[in-house]
Amino acid sequence: IATLAERLSKAGWETAAFVSGFPLARSLGFGRGFGRYDDSLPDGPSGRKERRAKATAAAASAWIGETRGPFFAWVHFYDPHAPYEPPPAFAQSGPRGAYDGEVSYVDYQVGRLLAAAKARGKMLDVVVDIDPGIRRTGVASPEAALALTQRIAAACCDTAVF
């Protein structure tokens, strides 16, 4: 079965992926069809490497700025996963404070990515896919997860696809 990236590449689109967590390393087969698959993961112990959202957004923004025709970019952020260690400016108090701080940090970085693309004259269609973590959010069904995803996308994006 052809991947979306393979189909788009075959149709002449530029394709790239920018991932932030070890579960999506190229060595696991996720790079199929992408002209560029950036899985630079500098931080963390061996086998659990990751990259902070700021670096992932910067890499994706630079690539998007270089595109000349239709393009597909998969930008993946891994920050809201244990251990929860948001940058100090995003730290929050309370029992969910560290998790909420990381979600806020990623939200800020997504905003920077969208703003950078818009400044370069690139309008982005955005697909939001989240695994909200039932214990942290109370989201216990696919329908509730979709509703949460739609609220997030409506708040930040010109176009959303689900």
Q: pLDDT over 90 for what percent of the chain? A: 33
Rounded mean pLDDT of 72-85? 87
Given this model, what pLDDT does residue 35 score? 96
pTM to 2 decimals? 0.79
CB 18 within 8 A of CB 63: yes
2, pLDDT greater than 90: no
Q: At what angle do helices 97-119 and 142-156 cross, to 10 degrees?
A: 50
Q: How many residues does the chain have?
A: 162
CA distances from 11 to 6, 32, 74 (A): 9, 15, 17
**pLDDT top residue among 152 and 32:** 32
Given this model, what pLDDT does residue 62 score? 94
